[in-house]
Chain A
Amino acid sequence: MLRRPHYITLGLVVLLTLLVLNLPDQTTARLKLGIGSIFLPLFGLANTAQQSAEQAAARLLPRSVLIEQNRRLTRENEQLRLQAIQAAEIDRENARLRQGVGWQRQQPWKLKLANVVLRDPANWWRTVHIDLGTRDGLTNDLPVLTPEGLVGRVSSVSLTRAQVVLLGDPNCKVAARVVNSTRDLGVIESSGPLDIDLVEMSYLPRHATAKPGDAVVTSGEGGIFPKGIPIGTIVDVQSVEYGLAKAARVKLAVNLNALEQVWVMFPSNP
């Protein structure tokens, strides 16, 4: 049976909830940041523990393994330097040709490495937090990727941290293109709550020739993601909307469950 103190407390909690839910977005973001700062000592502690564990593991690694690893990395580094020289030459040639034809030069991007510090505790969102913020020059809607492919975009930024919405979250939709002869265009959307490595590519045209195994990359339309970033490969295609369109399931190139470090893309001269 509800008594007076129960009514009063219930009323206060409802009032507080309504008040917080109706705050302006900017105030809510600040409040979230303020409350989130409670966890800063815990993050520091967890980070120190992880670093200590890594250092201990590195000490246990045999010298022969380290030497072999060093040799392999040196070889890889030399190969990459050669590729960089070739790429620079191709870039110069590309710029000359663009100038000759009169095409606008594409804006170059630079990358910044970030560590994934936490994941969304709620099961109905797919977001992670990274350890870069406004003090590192981050703004909303910057693309986030790994060497394997696209991860998502920055959705909100605080001073030291940023929230990234991952591919497959309802708030992360990406204009994409199938790498085939007809260059079919579609939109990458969420698929299901359990399929973390699958997304749906919808709004494919009726006559699309996309087939399983085709690669999917960003199309560059939409203004957030530059074109050509790998997203994944098509698993299957089916007709939807009474045969008026097609939809494909796409297996993501990146394992979103195992994200530890990601790269944030910045426009070179914002």
Chain B
Amino acid sequence: MNSLTTLLILLMAILVVFWEAVFNPIRSWLGAQVELLPALMVYTALRHSLTAVALLAVVGGLCFDSLSANPLGISVLPLFLVGLLLLLKRDLILHQQPFAQMVLGFAASAVAPVLTLLILLTGGTTPLLGWGSLWQLLVVAAGGALAAPVFFELFGWFDRTLVYGPAHQTTFRPDREIRRGRL
């Protein structure tokens, strides 16, 4: 795991939560705010280690709840479970394909809020729910589907720009060196 990339992922999580809290046009337009943390979790789970997944779930979840009326810590577990599931199955997932990334973003963005709501309802809290919540879930999932390939592209660019690439083996072999004499 590259610690710089993990740091960038956590920074992105903070920026994403801030954007969700201050950017209102989507909510005014479609009646729901998109959640981008599950899409970021899809990228992290498919490309990084378990530690990065856990860190993103904790930092992202706590930041999200600190700006929300959610009980603090309620979003951590759903995010982590989504990440863990993807991490365990990542060898079977075609994560290079943008379409597959979109499908994963859609699924993760639909599952994470549902899990959060289940925990909220289990804890006796009554959030604002109704038939309209299904539309909101669809908007959230569609937002996640669009965001997932963007995160893959963005962090791919970060990796190419900021992280040292693997050292390639050179064709030079010292045992094949031709030693020339004076003449």
Contacts and interface: CB of A to CB of B under 8 A. Distances in A.
Interface of A: 1-2, 5-6, 9-10, 12-14, 16-17, 19-21, 23, 28, 31-33, 35-36, 38-39, 42, 46, 117-127, 129, 155, 163, 165, 168-171, 190, 192-196, 257-258
A46 B73 CA distance: 26
9 shortest A-B CB distances, which residue pairs? Answer: A20-B73, A194-B132, A124-B127, A35-B66, A121-B20, A118-B21, A125-B69, A193-B132, A192-B130
Interface of B: 14-15, 17-18, 20-22, 24, 27-28, 31-33, 35, 50-51, 53-54, 57-58, 62-74, 76-77, 80, 84, 87-88, 113, 116-117, 120, 123, 126-133, 135-136, 140
Contacts of B140: 123
Contact of A194 (B64, B73, B120, B135): B135
A121 B28 contact: no
A264 B137 CA distance: 33
Nearest to B77: A17
A122 B73 contact: no
A17 B21 contact: no
A191 B21 CA distance: 23
8 contacts: A12-B54, A17-B74, A31-B66, A32-B66, A38-B63, A118-B22, A165-B69, A171-B69
Contacts of A13: 54, 57-58, 76-77, 80
Contact of B129 (A1, A124, A258): A124
Contacts of A127: 68-69
A1 B85 CA distance: 10
B136 A193 contact: yes
B68 A121 contact: yes
A121 B64 contact: yes
A16 B76 contact: yes
Contacts of B77: 13-14, 17
Nearest to A161: B67
B14 A39 contact: yes
A12, A28, A123, A192, most chain B CB atoms within 10 A: A123
A126 B123 CA distance: 19
B82 to A, nearest CB: 12
Given A13-B76, A35-B62, A194 B21 contact: no
Given A13-B57, A124-B127, A194 B14 contact: no
Contact of A120 (B69, B88, B126, B131): B69
Contact of A193 (B20, B74, B130): B130
B128 A124 contact: yes
B24 A119 contact: yes
A31 B33 CA distance: 25
Nearest to A28: B72
Contact of A5 (B32, B50, B57): B50
B110 to A, nearest CB: 13
A257 B69 contact: no
A16 B132 contact: no
A125 B76 CA distance: 18
A125 B70 CA distance: 8
A16 B62 CA distance: 11
Contacts of A168: 128
Contacts of A190: 128
A171 B17 CA distance: 23
B26 to A, nearest CB: 11
Contacts of B28: 257-258
